[in-house]
Amino acid sequence: MKASQFLISTLKEAPADAEIASHQLMTRAGMIKKLGAGIYNYMPMGLRVIRKVEAIVREEMNRAGAIEVTMPVVQPAEFWQETGRFDKMGAELLRIQDRHSRDFVIQPTSEEVVTDIARQEFKSYKQLPKNLYQIQTKFRDERRPRFGLMRGREFIMKDAYSFDKDRDAAQISYQTMRAAYKRIFDRFGLQYRAVRADSGAIGGDLSEEFQVIAATGEDAIVYCPNSDYAANIEKAESLAPTQPRAAAAQAMAKTATPGKSTCADVAELLNLPLANTVKSLVLATDEANDKGDILSSQVWLLLLRGDHDMNEIKVGKVEGLANFRFATVSEIEEHFGCQPGYLGPIGLKKPVKLVVDRDVAVMADWVCGANEADYHLTGVNWGRDLPEPTLVADLRNVVAGDLSPDGQGELAIERGIEIGHVFYLGTKYSKAMKATFLAENGKPSEFEMGCYGIGVTRLPAAAVEQNHDERGIIWPDAIAPFTVVICPIGMDRSEAVKTAAEKLHADLLAAGVDVILDDRGERPGAMLADWELIGVPHRVVLGDRGLQEGMVEYQQRRETAATKVPVEEVFSFITSRLA
């Protein structure tokens, strides 16, 4: 490819709304161009990256035995009504009507349509397992689209769906996909982790996210540096403390803490470690009848250590708390006789259900609110000042330094960007859509399903978040828009430069290398800056002076200085670097 025949369009400044590096750099490098909120043109330079991502994904999906289909972007609502998602999903599901006022959706995923295919096509267990996938345009009407391709509204996703005869077979399909995902992400050349994720009501451990490690990632990833344990923060278990509770050393006392309504403020005032304080969180659950009228409500008090954060997923798994909400101020006043900020488990006006985090259950001489404004209790002890806790559970997010659940040391936390997800669905969709096959016993049986997504247009953005510097993007070879760029200095003035550049270009092309020759005639500084911004990983600079000595300059995008290479060896030098 010659640059004069391509569309290269770099910008000095990033757009004002670009908050993160990938959005800034991909826009400046001319890879994407915003058309509307969360809607982008994939420009030629960016589309080359996307096509390489697609090709790797397709190749590995095919290798894993998945079969490619394409399901429509515009889908009749009737399928989405069968599972109830047409009504249940929020405004992010874009609902439209055609000229005859019939309802449609723009697909955000395709569980319904693929399940419809399965119930028509897979009549017998003999046809199973099957895995159908597509690489297709999706739309989610995000309330606040931002971060460029990271959280766009229109995007390209690879979504695969497995159909199996039973749960054991579904687990094999899941593991096959998981292995394919590892191959895919290995090939991308990115640092990533497969982290355990919550599988919701379905249970089991068959839900993992593939997270690209990046300091700007939206997700917290918990991992053990000594083992392969990794989970997202929602999922990561905090082990029960192993040390016994210390004996009570202090008497309980009421202490004035005027205006100190947070654990941190109280700890500072009392000159105590934050870990000696206990925070009180008040939740509520409602009983409703079929019409949705609330018949009665139950108030719950959760106790967590002052330095710990509540984990909503874990709280939701406590029996009775599946559909919890935060209590209202009036509910709090009714039960505690006090406004939030000074709450505690002692001296309630009306009884509540108490749930105690594992770490709180082993505390001695702790501090909590006194249920009286501007007062806290100190020296509180279980079994003496209040009964021993009966409902103890894991309610909190893990923190760095917690013990790894696999016993291999302490946990660490880093940030990640979710670019893939493998998920065991069970019979959620097949049951709702009456999608059955004839099992070996001759009876209709619902498909056991799994779903497997990769954000094809999100992936380049994640790659940039992980791989960039102050000069621009640093693409891994596998998904770079071009693998090699040839930058001739003064090509229009020097026949030697022109000849050498064109020969190297032709030789690399013939060897199947994805190379671009910058024949635009830009000034050297601007030309080199463009390619550093665009992030092509391998660069050759040819100039008259160097060629007089028979040398050209090679530089990998991560390197800080160029290497002089004899012009007659540069082809083999580059190809050996790529091999």
Positions in the binding site for a second copy (CB under 8 A): 5-7, 9, 33, 35-36, 39-44, 47, 50, 65, 67-76, 79, 91-92, 94, 96, 98-99, 104, 106, 113, 116-117, 120-121, 130, 132, 137, 139, 141, 143, 153-154
Query: Which residues are CB-neighbours of 271 under 8 A, at least 6 positions away?
Result: none
Contact 87, 78 (CB under 8 A): no
CB of 263 or CB of 513, closer to a second copy? 513
CB of 91 to a second copy, least distance (A): 4
Query: Which residues are CB-neighbours of 525 under 8 A, at least 6 positions away?
Result: none
Contact 361, 345 (CB under 8 A): no
Q: How many CB atoms lie within 10 A of CB 160?
A: 26
Look up residue 571 and give its two tokens: 């082809």
Look up residue 310 and give its two tokens: 């509540």
CB of 12 or CB of 143, closer to a second copy? 143
CB of 90 to a second copy, least distance (A): 9
Amino acid letter, 561: A
CB of 6 or CB of 86, closer to a second copy? 6
CB of 143 to a second copy, least distance (A): 7
Q: Is the sign of the CA dihedral 529, 530, 536, 538 positive or negative?
A: negative
Give CA separation, 251 vs 356, 360, 378, in Å: 21, 18, 8
CB of 12 to a second copy, least distance (A): 15
Radius of gyration of the chain (CA): 30
d(CA 461, CA 299): 44
- The owner of tokens 């990998």 is 556
CB of 5 to a second copy, least distance (A): 6
CB of 413 to a second copy, least distance (A): 34
CB of 85 or CB of 193, closer to a second copy? 85
Query: Which residues are CB-neighbours of 393 under 8 A, at least 6 positions away?
Result: 314, 318, 355, 356, 357, 358
CB of 4 to a second copy, least distance (A): 9
CB of 55 or CB of 288, closer to a second copy? 55
Look up residue 341 and give its two tokens: 């900020």
CB of 67 or CB of 329, closer to a second copy? 67
Q: What is the DSSP track for 456-490?
A: TTHHHHHHHHHSEETTEE---GGG-S-SEEEEESS
CB of 112 or CB of 418, closer to a second copy? 112
CB of 99 or CB of 558, closer to a second copy? 99
CB of 50 or CB of 194, closer to a second copy? 50
Query: Which residues are CB-neighbours of 241 under 8 A, at least 6 positions away?
Result: 358, 359, 362
CB of 433 to a second copy, least distance (A): 14
CB of 311 or CB of 457, closer to a second copy? 457
d(CA 140, CA 438): 36
CB of 169 to a second copy, least distance (A): 15
Cα three-residue angle 537-539-545, rounded to 5 degrees: 165
CB of 132 to a second copy, least distance (A): 7
CB of 70 or CB of 175, closer to a second copy? 70
- The owner of tokens 């930058």 is 487
CB of 565 to a second copy, least distance (A): 30
d(CA 304, CA 262): 13
DSSP E strands, 404-531:
412-426, 436-438, 444-446, 448-455, 468-469, 472-473, 484-488, 515-517
